[in-house]
Amino acid sequence: MEYIASGAQADIYKDGFKAIKLFKYNINKEEIEYEINLQKMAYDKGLPVPKIFGIIEIENKFGIEMEYLEGKTIGNIIMHDISKFEEYLLKSIEIQNGIHKIETKNIVLMKDRLKYFILKAKLINENDRERIINELENKVFDNKLCHGDFHFMNLIQTLDGIKIIDWICACSGSPEADIYRTYLLYLLSNKELAGIYLDTYCKIMQLDKNNILSWASIIAGARLGEYIKDENEKNILLKIIAN
């Protein structure tokens, strides 16, 4: 196997025409099967995702065997050639909007997922937590497919077009919340990029920006219970919740 890259949860290897996502920590088979089923669901819906072959076990670690994608992430392409930013931003918005047009059944509900992580977030004080949960309960949810972790690094440019990877956070819910989630992920690393993404999305798809921003405390609160990269990210999330 040839080492390709490393993420927060797994290392990626190439083995012939296959890619192997090998998890770094002990993870039960049910969790892997859940991720596989999500990606298979996206594949069956006709979305451009890698084909899944199954589960593999290597040195007491579980992994996922899937189609190897020859290409580069859009994030890496833009980092090396900023002139391609607008082109790929528009393409990414078109792809994300296409995902949101798909109705879903039998996958995790966005509301349940958000509530779980908000309740799990230890950094949220009880008054803010109660307020955020009330906001969540008052939201009306759709049953549209939402990627849950949509950003440039999860889009790979191949000879056959752009492919979408990492479906573990996919759920059934509201596109506006999923758009805010992407906006937040960009905001945590590049405020200017985040603003351009949101303004462009709203302009092209004729969406009310305030409707998307109304998800701020809910999505930021859930992020606090999910993953915090560093002190700066923690402060940004707490500031969003405080406002």
Label residue 54 left, alpha or beta by phi (over 0 means left) and psi (-120 to 50 means alpha). Answer: left
Spatial distance between the Cα atoms of 169 and 154, rounded to a whole number of angstroms: 12
DSSP tag of 228: -
Q: What percent of the chain has pLDDT over 70?
A: 99
Q: Which of 152, 155, 165, 157 minimizes the C-alpha distance to 49?
A: 165
pLDDT in tens, 151-172: 999 999 999 999 999 898 999 9
Q: What is the pLDDT of residues 107-142, one digit of tens each?
A: 999 999 999 999 999 999 999 999 999 999 999 999
| Phi-psi domain of 59 (left: phi exceeds 0; alpha: psi -120 through 50; beta: other) | left
Q: Give the Cα separation of 161 and 141 in Å (integer).
A: 31
| Cα gap 154→242, rounded to integer Å | 30
pLDDT value, residue 8: 67
The pLDDT of residue 116: 97
The four Cα atoms 201, 100, 172, 44 give a dihedral, to 10 degrees, of: -140
Lowest mean pLDDT among 12-21, 78-87, 167-176: 12-21
Residue 12 confidence class, pLDDT cut points 50, 70, 90: confident
Alpha-helical (H) ranges within 62-190 are: 74-80, 85-100, 110-120, 126-137, 175-187
Tens of pLDDT along 179-224?
999 999 999 999 999 999 999 999 999 999 999 999 999 999 999 9
Nearest CA to 182 out of 201, 157, 161, 207 is that of 201
Q: Which amino acid is at 78?
A: I
On the question of pLDDT at 5 being above 90, the answer is: no
Backbone conformation region of residue 16, classed left if phi is above 0, alpha if psi is from -120 to 50, else beta = left
* Whether this model's pTM surpasses 0.85: yes
Angle, vertex CA 53, rays to CA 43 and CA 6, nearest 5 = 90
Report the C-alpha gap between 64 and 47 in whole angstroms: 19
| Contacts within 8 Å (CB) and 24+ apart, 44-51 | 45/102, 45/145, 47/98, 47/99, 47/102, 47/164, 48/95, 48/160, 48/161, 48/162, 48/163, 48/164, 49/163, 49/164, 49/165, 49/167, 50/19, 50/163, 50/165
